[in-house]
Amino acid sequence: MKKMMYVLLVFTLLGTLLAACSNDSSNQPSNGSAAPSGKKEKLTAIVVKHALTKPLAEMEWLQEIEEKANVDIEWQEITADWGQKKGPMLASGDIPDLFVGPNVITDADFAQFNGLFQDLNELLDQAPNVQQMFEDNPATQVIATQTDGRILGLPKYQRFWPDSVNRQYINQTWLDHLNLEMPTNWDELYDVLLAFKEQDANGNGDPNDEIPVDWPGGIGGFFNPAVMLGGMGINLSSDVSGQGYFVEDGQVKNFLVDERYKELVKFLNKLYAAGLINTEVFTHDYTKFQSVARGEGDIAKVGFTWGWVASDRFGEQLAPQYTSMAPLKWSASYNGDVSWSYDFNTLNYGANAIVMSAKSKKKDAAMRFINELYAPEVGIQVLFGSIGPNIADNGDGSYSVLPPKDPQMDPGTWKWTSTWADNGAFYISDDIKLTLGTDMQEVLDHSESLQEALSRINPEEDIYPSVFIKYSSQDNNTMSLNNTNLMNLADTSFAKWVTSGGIEQEWDSYVQEAEKAGLPQNLEIMQRYFEEYKARK
């Protein structure tokens, strides 16, 4: 019996040694604690992704990091109506181990459902890649940390994006066809747009199929006429300008009750009355907005608009017809500074990109996955697609984003099709060497016309740093309620005034209603946080 036990012990030890020797280093987690061998630990997760994005099971990089972390994640992939789905789910308390997507879970959710989400401070020693991100880029730790010191969500940082989300485009082919000069102010723009409408600018023999101006409805935020307020010196930032807020001379203001906004609305009503604005501007969705601008073959439909980049806005075939314009002055006699929308922080940082449930029974496994997700070479794949089909490994420590396999597809669309893209959780260090795709090179080239205006902006003084500010629960709730009331009023009024006029007669009562909606209270709160932020710098 003793001999048999001895033999069994020897074989057991020998088997353990052989198993250890057979483990390939490529299967070990990146810079983290070793994943347990054997059966993968199961996790559940929700990711809110773009409607174009392919199934997660087809993303090579994601399968690789799940393998390295020794986890098997059951993903719920949300492409629409997350706002309607989220509330009941959080109220029930029955949530997955992880949520992925910038502000899929917000600071307001943390406040409302206190205790439902995990304080990651307690687990950061298991995620050296996250610790390295905080060390290399301290702004990411500022974004992650709540006012009470908890870290309930980790940020993203994508580094390569330009200073502004908005570029302003005009059809240069139409200008040349009609022998028109590039407009420099609003009055000149009106004359050009009128010519686009009346003189068959696209030259197809149909004088009625041109749409001189289009945008995706609403005021503020991305790709709409609010950026024209820069022609009167207003410095915007898309993360707060969607609700009208901006900073001027150290004061937080709101353009929705500013006399300069009234001038912009009057100008837009002038355009609409002349038939120069797409009549569906307040009813079409973003998909329709994009498709209209892509025209029919070589025949463009839209003359003047805003977008991320020409190839994305107009498609590869029509993009060469368009020129990225400098900001327009309000009038020829305006002698003040011209500004534009400054969005570097909005574009390159994102809060709460991944959040963990406090009720998770697999927190160590979830943290192993998070650590892999924030590995240096993973970040570029989360943003642009897998190394191999989407990114070339140049073999010298550098990488290059590849063109789409389908030559008819623009690179931006391919990115959103291939991976989580901007909706992911990741960190791209400033050290990683990556040659960008043609779309991002195009974005940077098309931003040149904005640089003179953007160079006048001091981000520390002229831009509200919303991505770096954490409000108290009470202030967050107050502002959210007030902003809902404000935007209900502003959106309805804006659409009415652009299409039907009446702003002069209704302006005073509108401003009073905005004050009743809680705007002064929000301005006071934001001013206080803005001054506290500057005092910490």
Helix, strand, or coil here: 155? strand
Per-residue HEC secondary structure of 65-98 comes to HHHHHCEEEEEEEECCCHHHHHHHHHHHCCCCCE
Give CA angle at 290 (285, 296), nearest 5°. 125
Backbone angles phi, psi at 512, to 5 degrees: -60, -40
Kindly provide the residue ranges of all beta strands, DSSP E only, lying in 141-236, ordered along the sequence: 154-157, 167-171, 211-213
How confident is the model at residue 410, as a pLDDT? Answer: 82
What domains appear along the chain, each with residue ranges and CATH number?
Answer: 29-161+346-433 (3.40.190.10), 167-341+448-465 (3.40.190.10)
Give residue 195's identity as a one-letter amino acid code. Answer: A
Q: Considering only CA atoms, which of 483, 82, 497, 81 is closest in space to residue 282?
A: 497
DSSP 424: S
How confident is the model at residue 286, as a pLDDT? Answer: 85
Residue 441 in tokens = 């090179």
How confident is the model at residue 411, as a pLDDT? Answer: 87
Distance CA 360, CA 355 (A): 11
How confident is the model at residue 31, as a pLDDT? Answer: 59
Q: Considering only CA atoms, which of 253, 206, 250 is closest in space to residue 229?
A: 253
Inter-residue contact 301 to 202 (CB < 8 Å): yes
In our burial notation (b when 16+ CB lie closer than 10 A, e otherwise), range 280-303 reads: ebbebeeeebbebbbbeeeebbbb
Beta-carbon contacts of residue 385 (< 8 Å; ≥ 6 apart): 61, 391, 401, 414, 415, 418, 419
Maximum separation of any 2 CA atoms in the chain, in Å: 105
Q: Considering only CA atoms, which of 118, 166, 35 is closest in space to residue 360?
A: 118
User: DSSP labels for 101-142?
Assistant: STTSS-HHHHHHTTTSB--GGGGGGG-HHHHHHHHH-HHHHH
Distance CA 493, CA 511 (A): 11
How confident is the model at residue 29, as a pLDDT? Answer: 57
Kindly provide the residue ranges of all beta strands, DSSP E only, lying in 178-223, ordered along the sequence: 211-213
Residue 24 in tokens = 């390939």
Q: What is the pLDDT of residues 490-536, one digit of tens each?
A: 999 999 999 999 999 999 999 999 999 999 999 999 999 999 999 88
Q: How many other C-beta atoms can be found within 10 angstroms of the C-beta atom of residue 93?
A: 11
How confident is the model at residue 477, as a pLDDT? Answer: 86
How confident is the model at residue 32, as a pLDDT? Answer: 59
Q: What is the pLDDT of residues 387-431, one digit of tens each?
A: 999 999 999 999 999 999 998 888 888 999 999 999 999 999 999
Low-confidence spans in the chain with pLDDT less than 70: 1-37, 537
Q: How many other C-beta atoms can be found within 10 angstroms of the C-beta atom of residue 26?
A: 8
Q: Considering only CA atoms, which of 148, 147, 309, 292 is closest in space to residue 217?
A: 292
